[in-house]
Amino acid sequence: MIIRSFLARFFSTLVTLFGVAVVVFVLVRIAPGNPIAMMLPPGATEEDVARLRALYGFDKTLIEQFFVWLGNVIYGDFGTSITMRLPVSELVLQRLPATLELSIMALVIALVLGGSLAVFGARFRGRAQEVGVDISTGAALSVPDFLWGLLLILAFGVAWPVLHISGRVDPHMDVDLTTNFYFFEGLLLGDFALVSSVLSHMLMPALALGLPLAAMIAQLLKQSLKEQLDQDYVNLARVRGHGETHVILSEALRNAALPTLTLIGVQFAFLIGGTVIVERLFAYEGLGNMAIDAVINRDLPLIQGIVLLFAVLFIAINLTVDLTYSLLNPKLRHD
Amino acid sequence: MTQNVFTLEISGLNVSSHSGTRVLDNISLQVEPGEVRALVGESGAGKSMIGRAVLGTLPPILDKSSGHIILNGKDLSLLSERKRREWVAHNAALIPQDPLSALNPVRRVGAQIITPLVRIHSWSKREAEDRCLSLLDQVKIRDPKRVLKSYPHELSGGMRQRILIAAAFANRPPLIVADEPTTALDVTVQKEILKIVRLLQEDTGTAVLFVTHDMGVVAQVSQTLTVLFGGRVLEDSKTHDVFTRDASHPYTQALIRSTPDYHSAGGKFVPVPDNVIATLHAQMRERLS
């Protein structure tokens, strides 16, 4: 049973990835712009252009190109970046930790902030405090992530300059780590100078990405909490002497979290998409920033590699959400 | 000090919504130790609200504005919020209306009924588990050990209601509020559940405030009854008297006649006559003006 559902999942994942690969491959080639022309100095001969085209395989038909590329991808070869002259897999894996750290930090901010606001609003439902939560989450939602980025730069970068507005780490700092997970590896090694430098760079972009999601979580979770708080099992807990805060946290929260979890899964995927623009805004050396450069330079192999990696991330997030869901909801567990 | 100490004594209880609508109006009633008192009335009469006021689970938009609720010798309105919760937890329990929503879906049944005994009544875990197992046996649940390890969705509605009844009686509280415990169940299960409530009640000597709209149920379980209309007490008497002699209030008489009874009414349903309702509404308007 478990093996069968795992296999079904695995094959549907492969189909999804193949679809993504086809779409990306075709799209970046239909889009106007010629990467070869950008690489050659002015005055290059027709012959030079043809040689370079042959080198990158652009002289073959689209279908041929696709299967050559796909064949290489299966063996872990994503091609060579046209602009950076380095293997795409190396470039992408080097940037991935930065984006993952940023997204996870944003998610943690959204969960903590949104969760507490939801519990607070549900605890004081029908009173001024709940109205306060509604107004602040409504405001946070109506501001998109990049605008949050600009507002945060104005507040903590200009008016009260306590945080760094660009980069991932202090450029003077000697970073000597085995992985590119500066924050997590720094934490593990107990290098607090590094961790605090990374945090002071990461906090603003993470907030910009996390605030709208926090508002969404707060609104949905508060609503589901309020529905749960009218249920008889909650009343029974009250009769057994539990105070309202305890009733919310230990009885209602796990039930209310289920619909919110679905939302978090979908929105976290959007959040990773949001890193593209927010990383650009804060000159943060992640995948998103690299994606923009790749698109501007028509670096086809790099674009394909990044998009495929984003697709893998989306699928991994969905899988995690489904697993967590069945962990929280006994109705979905099979023996 | 009077000789008769009530398990529950409500006097002059008023409950209104924030907008000023009066839900309970000057309610007074007493429940003696071991007594089963039925609270009857149509929907909106306020019968459930009395139970919720006693247990402190009124919806947030309602407020107990005045009056006294004395539970097992302590006036709840004189206690601090925390003390009141503790006192209620020790001296009262609830059999809820809807067994399907009265067990937390994400927690095992055992944890839900054993933990409160350990936490509130400081029983040992062993003691609590033994008591629950024997009670589940008493409410005719087969294989109680397996049931304790189950999640609520794995059990039927009737089973869940029997578990909830067992849980309410577990620590032999002086008072149990039964809030329409059979309404959500089908008729054959209803009968079984009423039998179990009566059995456990006689066994433990617990007083029960039995909220219902069903005069048939009233006749089966209660010794006394309080009839409510529009948040006020219309009649307060012995159940036996109401069913054998003519009830003193015309509304109560009409309620009894409206109970579907295949044999006496020739299969016809007799609703409460409009003029009785109209008189009551007129009285209410007079009072409010």
Identity of the residue numbered A236: L
A248 CA to chain B: closest CA distance, Å? 12
A268 CA to chain B: closest CA distance, Å? 25
- Per the CB < 8 Å rule, is B60 touching A241? no
Q: Determine the pLDDT at residue B2.
A: 46
Confidence of residue A270 (pLDDT cuts 50, 70, 90): confident
Beta bridge partners of B64: B15
Confidence of residue A26 (pLDDT cuts 50, 70, 90): confident
- CA A33, A34, A40, A41 torsion: positive or negative? negative
Instruction: Please name which of B66, B85, B64, B65 lies closest in space to residue B74, comparing C-alpha atoms.
Output: B85
- Per the CB < 8 Å rule, is B101 touching A231? yes
Q: Tell whether B114 is within 8 A of chain A (Cβ).
A: no
Contacts of A273 (CB under 8 A, 6+ apart): A310
Of B55, B61, B105, the CB nearest to A239: B55
Q: Determine the pLDDT at residue B3.
A: 45
Determine the residue among B106, B122, B150, B163 to mutate to test chain A binding: the one whose Cβ has the most chain A Cβ atoms within 10 Å. B106
What is d(CA A289, CA A287) in angstroms, rounded to the nearest whole number? 5
Q: How far is CA A231 from CA A130, A165, A225, B98, B152, in A?
A: 20, 47, 10, 9, 14
- Per the CB < 8 Å rule, is A330 touching B106? yes
B93 three-state secondary structure: strand
Question: Do A254 and A328 form a contact (C-beta atoms < 8 A)?
Answer: yes
- Give the tokens for residue A262: 């679905």
Q: Determine the pLDDT at residue B261.
A: 63
Report whether CATH 3.90.1170.30 matches the domain B8-288: no
Helix (H) and strand (E) counts in chain B: 11, 10
B10 three-state secondary structure: strand
Domains of chain A and CATH, by start:
15-74 (no CATH), 96-332 (1.10.3720.10)
Q: Determine the pLDDT at residue A83.
A: 86
Across the range A12-38, mean pLDDT stands at 82
Say how far residue B286 (Cα) sits from the centre of its chain: 31
Q: Determine the pLDDT at residue B260.
A: 67
- Per the CB < 8 Å rule, is A241 touching B55? no
Instruction: Please name which of B29, B28, B33, B87 lies closest in space to residue B56, comparing C-alpha atoms.
Output: B87
Whole-number percent of chain A with pLDDT over 90: 52
| B79 DSSP assignment | S
Residues of chain A in Cβ contact (below 8 Å) with chain B: 125-126, 230-233, 235-236, 238-243, 251, 254-255, 328-331
Q: How do residues A110-167 score in pLDDT, each as one tens digit?
A: 999 999 999 999 999 988 999 999 999 999 999 998 999 999 999 999 999 999 999 9
Confidence of residue A5 (pLDDT cuts 50, 70, 90): confident
- Give the tokens for residue A179: 């992985």
Q: Determine the pLDDT at residue B162.
A: 92
Q: Determine the pLDDT at residue A218.
A: 97
- Name residues of chain B where pLDDT drops below 70: 1-4, 246-247, 260-268, 288-289
- CA A80, A85, A90, A91 torsion: positive or negative? negative
Question: Secondary structure of chain A in the HEC alphabet?
Answer: CHHHHHHHHHHHHHHHHHHHHHHHHHHHHHCCCCHHHHHCCCCCCHHHHHHHHHHCCCCCCHHHHHHHHHHHHHCCCCCECCCCCCEHHHHHHHHHHHHHHHHHHHHHHHHHHHHHHHHHHHHCCCCHHHHHHHHHHHHHHHCCHHHHHHHHHHHHHHHCCCCCCCCCCCCCCCCCCCCCCHHHHHHHHCCHHHHHHHHHHHHHHHHHHHHHHHHHHHHHHHHHHHHHHCCHHHHHHHHCCCCHHHHHHHHHHHHHHHHHHHHHHHHHHHHHHHHHHHHHHCCCCCHHHHHHHHHHCCCHHHHHHHHHHHHHHHHHHHHHHHHHHHHHCHHHCCC
Across the range A189-208, mean pLDDT stands at 93
What is d(CA B6, CA B207) in angstroms, rounded to the nearest whole number? 10
Q: What ipTM was estimated for this complex?
A: 0.86
CB atoms within 10 A of CB A333: 10
Across the range A34-52, mean pLDDT stands at 78
Question: Do B55 and B84 form a contact (C-beta atoms < 8 A)?
Answer: no
- Per the CB < 8 Å rule, is A239 touching B86? no
Mean pLDDT of chain A: 89
Across the range A273-289, mean pLDDT stands at 93
What is d(CA B204, CA A239) in angstroms, rounded to the nearest whole number? 20
Question: Do B241 and B253 form a contact (C-beta atoms < 8 A)?
Answer: no
Q: Please give the residue of chain B at the shortest CA–CA distance from A327.
A: B106
- Per the CB < 8 Å rule, is A233 touching B55? no
